């Protein structure tokens, strides 16, 4: 098979949550353990860092990977979902896994795994862990796929666990209260392994404290240990960065400029105190990685400025927790005297009404849908918008909505594209290929 044929085989043979949602969710770790034993427990051959949380885990994972990479370590990075290329999920020092490796894995192992009927994520996790071992990484940063306790990444024995924050998402699997969701994510807390909690409230804090006490895990709440003393937007070398004044690490300039990154940065810096006991991390490693995390790791879609004049921004924020920051940042643009165009769509399993209730009124909207089965139709989005006095036109795909926004925008305007990772993925694929998008199967 070619690489494209192999990827289509994986998408079609193993249910992909990214495309079909809940139908792809497979509870329990039995298949994961069978795959892990078949490959001789590859994750035991290198150190791991495990990161869970409703939001921010991707940014934290990429930044920590970049910092360790700059120290000279060989660093694996496993994240999800991908935006354009499946191989974005599995990287070493920022480089995606070779296409041929994916082809060979499927051809050599399909006779074993096909009778197991693994989920896409179970198979992808086994692939990642095997690849990292064969490439002799020093450490791998592993992002949880969904939840924590029953996530198939939860077979690792990490040197550090991180839980970024808790808010409502995937409630059909994780529970309808913050405490229930926190309990699922606390499942990654391991016996005597330090854990960093990025954000919490009274309801979730007690859950984390109880679990940590139960397994004798040292626990640190980042909000109780303020590393970020102040933050402000700053221009450095012609680039807009977030300037942090920190308690232990001096001045840091961050390439990721979404408002949510301030709390992510505090979480990362707290984690570095623990990691610095194991790895030799210098101030230069930290500052360089924060300034160049996208280039070093391939991270995209986090308040990413695609171009200027007009300023075009995309962000993968897709739930209520992420939108409490995005809505504020967009409102600042909308009320600053610059015209704001918003290309917007969401997945059907999200709290669409709650997110849309936060959108700024001072914007021109382009309602659309992504090319996945989970996408909410553009007309449904438009109908909900009328409840909140939001006005715009409907477009059948992201490419058409984006082109309409570009055609209507003046050089001083802003165009924001988001509401879903899939909307951003469609945009990036369109800009990469300049071809219309067909619905994924």
pLDDT, tens only, 130-150: 999 999 999 999 999 988 899
DSSP β-ladder status, 90-92 and 75-78:
antiparallel
Choice between 197 and 14, residue whose per-residue pLDDT is larger: 197
Cα–Cα dist 375/369, whole Å: 6
**Sequence-separated (6 or more) residues with CB below 8 Å from residue 72:** none
In this structure, are residues 48 and 142 in contact, taking their beta carbons and an 8 Å threshold? yes
What was the pLDDT predicted at 438? 47
Cα–Cα dist 246/219, whole Å: 21
Q: Reading across the β-sheet that carries 239-246, which strands appear in turn?
A: 228-236, 239-246, 251-254
User: Across-strand partners of 77?
Assistant: 91, 141
Q: What percent of the chain has pLDDT over 70?
A: 93
For 400-413, the DSSP string reads HHHHHHHHH--TT-
Q: Residue 316 pLDDT > 60, yes or no?
A: yes
Cα–Cα dist 196/52, whole Å: 10
Q: Residue 21 pLDDT > 70, yes or no?
A: no
What was the pLDDT predicted at 147? 82
Q: Residue 370 pLDDT > 80, yes or no?
A: yes
Collapsed DSSP state (helix, strand, coil) of residue 24: helix
Q: Residue 75 pLDDT > 60, yes or no?
A: yes
What was the pLDDT predicted at 441? 33
Q: Residue 217 pLDDT > 90, yes or no?
A: yes
Out of 14-28, 67-81, 278-292, which region has the weakest mean confidence (pLDDT)? 14-28
Range list of β-strands (E), 239-339:
239-246, 251-254, 304-307, 311-315
What was the pLDDT predicted at 274? 97
Collapsed DSSP state (helix, strand, coil) of residue 19: helix
């Amino acid at each position: 098979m070619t690489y494209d044929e192999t990827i289509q085989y994986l998408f079609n043979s193993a249910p992909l949550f990214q495309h079909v949602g809940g139908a792809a969710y497979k509870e329990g770790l039995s298949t994961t353990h069978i795959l892990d034993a078949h490959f001789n427990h590859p994750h035991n051959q290198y150190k791991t860092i495990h990161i869970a949380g409703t939001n921010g885990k991707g940014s934290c994972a990429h930044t920590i990977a970049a910092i360790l990479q700059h120290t000279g370590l060989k660093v694996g990075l496993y994240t999800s979902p991908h935006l354009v290329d499946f191989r974005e999920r599995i990287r070493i020092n920022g480089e995606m896994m070779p296409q041929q490796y994916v082809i060979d894995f499927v051809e050599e192992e399909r006779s074993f795994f096909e009778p197991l009927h693994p989920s896409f994520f179970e198979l992808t996790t086994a692939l990642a862990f095997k690849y990292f071992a064969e490439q002799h990484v020093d450490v791998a940063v592993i992002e949880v796929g969904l939840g924590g306790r029953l996530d198939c990444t939860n077979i690792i024995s990490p040197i550090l666990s991180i839980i970024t924050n808790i808010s409502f998402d995937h409630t059909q699997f994780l529970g309808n209260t913050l405490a229930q969701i926190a309990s699922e994510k606390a499942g990654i807390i391991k016996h005597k392994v330090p854990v960093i909690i990025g954000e919490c409230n009274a309801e979730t804090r007690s859950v984390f404290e109880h679990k940590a006490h139960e397994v004798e895990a040292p626990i640190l709440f980042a909000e109780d240990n303020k590393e970020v003393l102040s933050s402000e937007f700053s221009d450095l070398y012609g680039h807009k960065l977030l300037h942090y004044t920190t308690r232990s690490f001096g001045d840091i300039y961050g390439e990721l400029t979404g408002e949510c990154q301030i709390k992510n940065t505090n979480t990362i810096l707290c984690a570095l105190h623990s990691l610095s006991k194991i790895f030799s991390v210098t101030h230069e490693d930290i500052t360089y990685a924060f300034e160049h995390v996208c280039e070093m790791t391939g991270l995209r879609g986090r308040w990413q400025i695609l171009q200027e004049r007009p300023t075009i921004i995309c962000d993968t924020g897709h739930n209520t927790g992420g939108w409490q920051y995005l809505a504020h940042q967009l409102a600042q643009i909308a009320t600053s005297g610059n015209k704001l165009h918003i290309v917007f769509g969401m997945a059907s399993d999200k709290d669409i009404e709650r997110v849309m209730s936060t959108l700024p009124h001072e914007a021109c909207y382009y309602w659309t849908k992504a090319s996945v089965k989970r996408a909410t139709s553009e007309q449904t989005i438009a109908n909900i918008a009328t409840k909140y006095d939001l006005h715009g036109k409907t477009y059948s795909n992201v490419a058409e909505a984006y082109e309409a926004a570009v055609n209507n925008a003046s050089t001083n305007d802003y165009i924001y594209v988001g509401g879903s990772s899939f909307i951003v993925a469609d945009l990036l694929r369109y800009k990469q290929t300049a071809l219309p998008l067909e619905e994924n199967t």
